[in-house]
């Protein structure tokens, strides 16, 4: 399952560099694309602005098939307060922009599963694939607009895989 989670994140991150190369963040002294896995970073009281945050929640397994099919739920959270140049009055547009970017990041809805625990990432035998995103309604907190998007990720568990 961990390989599928890693593959999903790296796929979205690599796509973000071409969809919007300007969406970057400085995290742990590294400038990188503005997307992160919440459970792989230091805990924070507030989610960072203008960044996609991946949060893994539910896991279900289907044992009836020759290979076990794992179904995982990934919530993608993002928050914006608009830009300084527009005094935050463009926060609706900024959120809309992130919605559109996320749709592009999630298409095509599959990727070859990779193992990133080895020094050189190695390709595995099956794909990771996911459903169309379900967009939650916008949440407004004073000057911030937030949205949560749910994607169900499927993967076949391979022999000897954790």
Partner 1 sequence: MAGDLSAQNTNGAARRFATALLRANGGTTASLQMPPLTGDSTDAAQLGLNAPNFQLLPLSPVAFRRARITLQEGEQQKYELLISAEAVAAQVSQLELTSADLLFSMAAGVVVAGKLFLIEATYVSESQGEVYLYRLLLREARGEWQLQ
Contact residues toward partner 1 (CB under 8 A) are 6, 9-10, 13, 27-30, 32, 36-37, 39-43, 45, 116-117, 121
Minimum separation from the CB atom of position 116 to partner 1 (A): 6
Minimum separation from the CB atom of position 96 to partner 1 (A): 27
Nearer to partner 1, 62 or 143 (CB): 143
Minimum separation from the CB atom of position 81 to partner 1 (A): 15
Nearer to partner 1, 14 or 67 (CB): 14
Nearer to partner 1, 63 or 141 (CB): 141
Element holding 146 (H helix, E strand): strand 144-156
Minimum separation from the CB atom of position 15 to partner 1 (A): 15
Which residue from 10, 4, 3, 49 is spatially nearest to 27, judged by alpha carbons? 49
Q: How far apart are CA 67 and CA 113, in angstroms?
A: 15
Minimum separation from the CB atom of position 29 to partner 1 (A): 3
8 A C-beta contact, residue 112 and residue 7: yes
User: CB neighbours (10 Å) of residue 19?
Assistant: 16
Nearer to partner 1, 116 or 135 (CB): 116
Q: How far apart are CA 45 and CA 43, in angstroms?
A: 7
Q: Which pair of tokens denotes residue 31?
A: 């400038």
Nearer to partner 1, 6 or 161 (CB): 6
Residue 39 DSSP symbol: G
């Amino acid at each position: 399952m961990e390989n599928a989670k890693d593959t999903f994140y790296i796929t979205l991150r690599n796509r973000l560099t071409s969809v919007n190369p300007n969406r970057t963040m400085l995290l742990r002294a590294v400038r990188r694309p503005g997307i992160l896995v919440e459970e792989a970073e230091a805990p924070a009281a507030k989610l960072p602005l203008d960044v996609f945050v991946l949060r893994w929640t539910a896991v279900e397994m289907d044992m009836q098939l020759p290979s076990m099919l794992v179904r995982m739920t990934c919530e993608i959270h993002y928050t914006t307060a608009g830009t300084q140049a527009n005094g935050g009055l463009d926060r609706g547009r900024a959120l809309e922009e992130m919605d559109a970017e996320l749709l592009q990041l999630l298409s095509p809805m599959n990727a070859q599963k990779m193992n990133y625990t080895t020094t050189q990432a190695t390709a595995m035998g099956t794909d990771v694939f996911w459903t169309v995103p379900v967009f939650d309604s916008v949440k407004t907190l004073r000057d911030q607009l937030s949205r949560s998007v749910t994607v169900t990720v499927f993967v076949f568990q391979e022999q000897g895989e954790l």
